[in-house]
Structure 1
Amino acid sequence: MPSSKPPVIFIIDDNPSNVKVLSETLKSFDYKTLVAMDGLSGIQKITKAQPDLILLDILMPEIDGFETCQQLKQSEVTRDIPVIFMTALASTADKVKGLKLGAVDYVTKPFQEEELIARLELHLQLRRLSQDLAKQNQQLQAEIAQREAAEAQIKILSKVSEQSPTSIVITDVKGNITYVNPKFEELTGYKLEDVIGKNPRILQSGNTPEQEYTHLWKMLANGHEWHGEFHNKKRNGELYWEYASISSIKDADGKITHYVAVKEDITVRKQNELELYQQLEREGVVADLTLSIRHSLDLSVILNTAVTELRRIVGVDRVLVYFLMPDGSGKMVAESVSEQLEAMVDHVFSSEIFPEEVYQRYIEGRIYSVSDLDSTEMVPCLREFLQNLGVKAKLIAPIIQNESLWGLLIAHHSKPHLWQSWESELFNQVSNQMAIAISQANLYQQVQIELAEKIQAEKALQFVNQELEDRVEQRTGDLKRSELQLQKNNESLALANIELARATRLKDEFLANMSHELRTPLNAILGMSETLKEGIFGELNERQRKAITTIESGGQHLLALITDILDLAKIESGKLELHLEKIEIEKLCNDSFVFIKQLAHKKNIQLILNIPSRIKQNQSVYVEVDELRMRQALINLLTNAVKFTPDGGTVTLEVQITEVSSEGEQHKVYIDFLVIDTGIGINPDDIGKLFQTFVQIDSTLNRKYAGTGLGLSLVKKIVEMHGGSVGVESESSKGSKFTIRLPYQSDSSPNHPLNLQPSISETSEYSSNRDIPYKVLIVDDNTANMETVHDYLESKNYQVCTASDGKIAVDMAIAQKPDIILMDIQMPEMDGLQAIKLIRSNPETANIPIIALTALAMSCDQEKCIEAGANDYMSKPFRLRTLSNSIQELLESD
C-alpha cells in the first residue's frame, strides 16, 4: 500500500464464518479490519471509528443491510464512507435497490479474492481522491477569502487549479461563471472566454432530474456543501458523467460571494457500472428463460418458448431451431420471426445446405457466426439459400444430445450485425439448457409410451383369453391341441406380464425417488416457516409475517401437487387402499366447505349448501366411504368451481337422493352430490377431455387459471373406486354442474356410528414438569432439516443432540442413552432402517422410542419402518407441532 497507515475496512455480517474468512483475506493484503455482527451496533461503531470502507451483508437480524445502508447515508458523519454490499442475494432487483440506496458496488457471495481486492482498491482510491478534492476545495475557499492579504498564495492556488486533474468552476452568487480551469476546457471543449458570464446550465443534457438542481441550491443557500453526480453534455454534443463537490466562498463577514465546484470525470466508472448492470440483467433473463424452458415436458412448448424469448432479448429478425434428420436433411421445428422475413417453420431442407465438413465443428460444441454474408466465404448453395431467406448475418449454436448433434439453434438478421461475445455466450447457454429439456421431454414421452404399451398389453391379454375361451367351446374335439396353444399363449402372456411388472417397478422407483427429492427440501422450507411464525427466533413484524405466510403457502401448494401425483400413481398401480367407514352426509359437506371459504371470500363468491331436511333430520342416512378421499374429491370440485367463477358469482353444493330403475335390473337408490357454479362453463366439444390426466381443455385457460390437469382425473378414479360415477353438465359462459353419484346406505339402528366418534380437538403443545429435560437424538444427513428440527425442539425445552448418518446414530444411542430418537431413512454410510434394527438388537438401547422421518411416501415405506422396529412414522414435510405432539405421546406412554 502506498500509505504507511493501512486502510480500515469495516465488516458488518451476522455469520461468524463469513466474517472470519473475509477478515483473514483482507489481513493478508495488509488491510486493517473492524467487525460488527448486526446493523445497529455497526452504525454506532462506524460513527466512532470512521473507517475507510464498509463491507455490508444484507440478510441480518433486527435491521437488514438495506436499512443499515440507508441510515449510514442519512448521517452527515458517515454518508461519505463508501459502502459495498456483500451478500448471497443475486437478483437484479436487489442489486439495483442497493445502488439506489447509495452503495458504490455489489459483491456476490461466494466472492472471488482477486475481484474483491480489485474493487476495494478502486473504491478506496476514489475515496482518497474525493477526500483530496474536499481538502483542495477547503484550501481554495480559504485562499480566496484571504486573497487581498496573500497574493502569493493566490498564485499558488491558481497553479493548483491549472494543474488539477479535476475540473474547477467558480461562479458568482447568481450562478454566473467567473472562472474555469484548463481541465474544464479540456473536458468540455468550452474555452474560458466562451463561458465567462454564462450559467453552468449550458452543460445540461436533460438527463439529470430537475429536483437534483433544486436540492443543490437549497443546500448551498443554507451554507452546506453539495455532493452529487451530473450527466452533462460537451460542446460537441458528447455526453459524459462527472462527480461534483460544490461549496460556497465567504468573505471576512461570512457573506457568500462565490461558489466553487470541483468536478471529477467518472464517465468510465459509470460505463463499467452500466455494463455490470446489463450483465446482471442478462444473467437474470437467462435464469428465467432456463426455468421456463425446463418447466414444461412438451417439446413444442419448450422450443417455441426458447426462440420467442431469445429473439426478444437479442433483438434479431429470426430465431429458429433446426432439427437434423439421419439422412442429413433438416426441418425447421420452431421459429420466431419478424415481419421483415418470411416464416419457414415446418419446412424441410435438403442435405446440401448442411455440408458434411461443418458437422465436426458443431459436434465439438463450437459457436459459428457470420457478421456480413456478402464478405464471408461459404458453399454456393448455402449462400443462395440464405440470400433467398433475406439473411445478412447469422449466429449458430449446436444442440448436443447424447454426444450426437440433435440440431442447431440459429439467429438470422436481415442486416449485417457484429455479434457480441455475450450474444454468443447466451446462445451457448440456452442451447445447453435446451438439450437437457429435450432429454427430459423424450424421457417423459418414453414413459407415456411404456404406459400405453402396458394398457395395450392388458387389452391384448383380455382379447387372447377371450379367444382361447371361444376356441375351447368350439373345438372340444381337439382339446390337446387347444391346451398346447393355450400353454404357448400363457408363456407369451407371462413374458408380457414380467415386462409390465418391470415398467411398473421402474415407475414406482421413479415416483419414490422424486417424492424423496422434493419432500426433503420442502420439509426444511415448511419447518423453518413454522418456526419463524411461532416466534422461535424472535417476534416478526407484519411484513415479515406476510412473507413467511407466502413462503408457507407456496410450500403447501407444492406439497399438495406432489400428493396428487403420488395418489394418481397409487390408484393406477392398484396400490391405493380405501378405509371405508360410515360418514354422516351433512358432516362430509360441511368439512369440505371449510377448505374453500377463504378463497371464495377473496372473490366475493356466495357459497350455498343445500341438503334436504329428510337427510339432515335422519341421522341414520350415511355414505360408506373413505372420508379422507371422498372429502378430497369434493374439495377438488368445489375449488375448481370457485376458481372458474368470476367475482360476485355463486357456488352451490347440493345433495339429492335419486332413484333409478330399468328393465331387468333391481330398483336402486343413490346419493348425488352436485357442485353447481355460475362460472365460465365448458364447451360441449371439450367435456370429453375433462377427466384425462395432465390435460386442461384450453391452453389460454391454463395460463389464466393455474393447474396441472390432475384434479378431475383423481376425482373420477376416487369415485369409481367407491363404486360410484362422476358426471358433468355445462354450457360455455353459463356455468357448470358436476355430479358425484354414490350408492345409498342407511342404518336404522339408534346407535349410529357417528354418534360414538370422539370430537377432534387441537393438540396441545409440549410442556414438561421434569427437572431434567428429555434428551432427543436427531439423525439426518440433510443439514437444513436437522437445524430446523433442532432449533424448534430446543425452544420446547428438549435437550438435543445430532448425528449425520446411521452408524454415528447407533454409537451415540449406546453412549448417550437418549429418551427418544428421530431417525431419517435415506442416509449415506448406513441407512435408517439398518440403524433401527441395530439399536433394537442391543439390550441397552432396545426400548428407546424411535420415530421414522422420511421423504419417501409410497405405501410400503411405513410398513418397512414399523417392521424394522420404529414406534411411529412421519412423512416429510411434516408440521413441527405435529412432531412435538408425537414425541410427547411416546415419552408419556413410555
Structure 2
Amino acid sequence: MNNKTNTSKGNILIVDDIPENIRLLASTLKKQGYKVRKAINGSMALTGVQAFLPDLILLDIMMPDMDGYQVCEKLKADEQTRNIPIIFISALDDMLDKVKAFKVGGVDYISKPFQTEEVLARVETHLSLQTMQNQLNTKNHELEQLVEQLHLQNALLKAQQEATVDGILVIDENDNISFYNRQFLKLWHIPPEIVQQGDYNILSMYITSQLKNPTDILTGAEYIYNYKNEIMYGEIYLKDGRVIERHFAPILAHDRQNHGRVWYFRDITERKSAEAIIQKSNQRLIQLNHQMMHELNLAREIQAGLLPPSNPNISNFEIICFTQPAREVGGDFYSYHVFDENHVAVVVGDVSGKGVSAALLMATSLSQLEASFTLDLTPEERLAHLDHAMVPYTKQHHQNCAMCYVELTTVENENLSKSTTLQVVNAGCLYPYVRRKDGSVIWLEVGGMPLGVGLGAEVGYHTLQTDVSKGDMVILMSDGLVEAYNMYDEMFGFERLKNAISQANNRTIKTLLADLQNAVLSFIDEAEPHDDMTIVVVQI
C-alpha cells in the first residue's frame, strides 16, 4: 500500500454510483485545490484505498451490491484504513440512517441535495482535525520516547536499588500484598511498616488519603471486582498536584483462573504538563495560520486591484487579459496604456521568484511602467529607462523583471483605408505571436536582457516592426504557459503552444483566450501549478 502524499490541500476519494454526483463533487473540490479520485461502487472504492490511502472519503450509502455502511465497516475493520475520516453523503434523511452512519464509523453526515459550501466546510474541518490529531500523536510519541529514555537513565543509575522506574505492587487472590518495590513506596510516600503488614485494605486507605478525588479508587475497585480478568488503565490526580498513571493486569493461569493482580504506577505529571503546552502551542499555530491566510488573501485582493480592467473598451483595438498566480500572490502582471484611440501599448511582465517577494517587485514594476508613460519615449527607450529605474529594487535580492512591450499604431492612408503597425521590444520574456485573420501564425523573435539587471540600459534594446491587418490577433504571455507540467512531469512546451494558438477558435478574442486556457488546463489536469500564468490577446 502506498503512503499518502502532501502535494495538495488533501487527497479525497468520492464513492457514488451516480456519475453526475461524482462530477459535481469532483469539480467543486478540484477548484479548491484538492486532489480527487473517484469510485462508482464499494468494491472499486476498497480496491482504490488499498492502492493509495486518501486523506478523506465522501461516501454514498445507497449503492448496488455493497452499500455505504458495508464499505465503511470494512474500512474501519482494517488497521491501515480505520483512521481515514468518512463523511456520508446520502439522500436518506431518516434519523435512524444517520445514527447508523455514525455507529459504523462515519465522522459526519450530509443530506442530499447538498450545498457545495457545506461540503467544502465539512471537508476542510475534518481534514484539519485529522491533521491536528496526527500532529498531536506524533508529539505525544516523541514525548513518550523522551520520558522512557529519562526513566531508563534513572534506572541505570539506581540499578542496585530499583529494578524499574515504575512503582510495582502485586496483590494475590486473597487481597494480600505479595510484592512491592522501593519505587512504589517512594511514589506514594508510604512508610515501610504499612506494607510490611501485608494487608491491602490498610494500604488502600493510606493511598486513598492522598487522592484529590477519593472516589477514583472506589470506581477502580468496583471495576476490578466486576471485571477482574481484564486489563485496566487510568490516571489518578493527587492532592499535591501530581498525576499518576496506573495499569492493572490480572495474573491468569493457563486455565484462566485468577491468582491476583499486578499494579504498575508511574508519575506522568511532566508528560501531562508537556501535552498541555503542546495543545496550547497547536492552538496558537492554528490562529497564526488563519491570520496568515487572511493576510495573504487580502494581499491577493490588493494585488489584483493594481491591475487594470481585463477587458477595456478601446475604439480601434479589442483587448482581453488573464492572469493566475500559482500561489496566493504572484509575480506575473499585465498592463496597457492608451496614448489615443489609434495608439496603444500592451505589456506582459514576469518577475523572478514567487510568493510575497515576487508580488512586491510586481507592484514596483507596474508603478515604474506607469510612471514611464509620462515621458515621450520610443519603445526601446522605454525599456532602457525601466531597466535603469528597476536596479535599486532588484539588486539586493538578485531579482529581475522579464517584460514584453508592444505598441500598436493605426493610421489613415490617403485612400481613406487604415493600416496598423506593430512594434515589439522584449526584455527576456516569451516572444509574442501574431495570428493572422486567415489562421496562419507567426512568432515575433526579438529578445533582450530582463529589466533590473542594468545591462539592457547599456547595450540597448531592439525593436521589431511588422504590419498587422484588421482581424489579426497579437498574443502575449508569460513563460508559465510553456513551462506548465502535467502529472507525468511533461512540459507543455512551445510546440503545443503554437498548435493551441493555430487550432483555437478566433471568432473573438474571448473565444481564443478560452481555448488557450482550456488547452493548458487540460494538459496539466490534476498536477500542481508551478508558475504564474498570464495571457493578453489584442485584436485589431
Give your verdict on TM over 0.5: no
More helix by share: 1
- Higher relative contact order at CA 8 Å, sep ≥6: structure 1 or structure 2? 2
Q: Normalising by the residue count of structure 2, what TM-score does the alignment of the two structures yield?
A: 0.31
TM-score (norm 1): 0.19
